[in-house]
Amino acid sequence: MVFALDLEGVLAPEIWPILGERFELPELALTTRDLGDFTELMKRRVAATRTRGLTLADLKSVAHAVEPYLGARDFLARLRGLGQVMVISDTFHEFSEPLMRKLGGHVLFANRFELEPDGLLKGFKLRIRGQKERIVSGFHAAGYRVAAVGDSLNDLSLLKSCDYPLLFRPVEALRVEFPSAPIALNLDDALRTLELVAREVERNGG
Ligand SMILES: [Mg+2]
């Protein structure tokens, strides 16, 4: 089976608020909880970095220092013993590849930045936005059962399209969308639930 996990808020802290604080740019710290339209949100973040003259290298120097939540690496290693593990996130490869290595080197599906020749951000390629459902349906087509873990509304399509949604410390709006889905308050809880799921899938020959 496949375990498809969100990154920020589940395995590690949100990166943009850390950037906003470090560079004292409140525009960077806005999240989908403040502004529902992700493209608009990204445009504002990119514009804010340009006003300040922050290059991708500046942003990476902070983003690459972000550490996983305590126990997240072991959590993923345990899941890997039960199935395939991948992270499907609205983060950017340029920010999160080192984090993925700290988490044990699992597969990451994420977005990419577009750059100016001088290293300033020009824009972004949202490869993941709206594609999460398609990634899951690809696994289904290949005969895999999919369990997904997310914490916020940007995980909605991932959680809706998978076979076993698990809400991790969810925002209220997500809880309302999945009144009967299990909720985990920490990674130990999440592991216990996913172990049961894996056992059920195995019993059913998946
Ligand atoms: Mg999240």
pLDDT 10s digits, 169-204: 999 999 999 999 999 999 999 999 999 999 999 998
- At 206 the pLDDT is 66
The two tokens of residue 203 are 């019993």
Q: What is the pTM of this model?
A: 0.94
pLDDT 10s digits, 57-97: 999 999 999 999 999 999 999 999 999 999 999 999 999 99
Characterise 125 by phi-psi region: left (phi > 0), alpha (psi -120 to 50), beta (else): beta
* Cα 152 to averaged position of ligand 1 atoms, centre (Å): 5
Which one from 6, 14, 151, 163 is the annotated catalytic residue? Answer: 6
- Across residues 155-166, what is the average pLDDT? 95
Residue ranges of domains in the chain, CATH in brackets: 2-12+69-203 (3.40.50.1000), 15-63 (3.90.1470.10)
H or E stretch covering 111: strand 107-115
pLDDT 10s digits, 15-39: 999 999 999 999 999 887 677 788 8
Model confidence band, residue 129 (pLDDT cutoffs 50, 70, 90): low
Position 43 pLDDT exceeds 90: yes
Kindly report the average pLDDT of the chain as a whole number.
94
CA nearest neighbour of 177 among 162, 157, 194, 195: 157
* Cα 34 to averaged position of ligand 1 atoms, centre (Å): 14
The strand pairing partners of 124, in sequence order, are 113
In the residue annotation, 163 being an active-site residue is answered as: no
In the residue annotation, 151 being an active-site residue is answered as: no
- At 31 the pLDDT is 80
* Cα 118 to averaged position of ligand 1 atoms, centre (Å): 31
Buried b (16+ CB within 10 A) or exposed e, 48-65: bbeeeebbbebbeebbbe
* Cα 155 to averaged position of ligand 1 atoms, centre (Å): 7
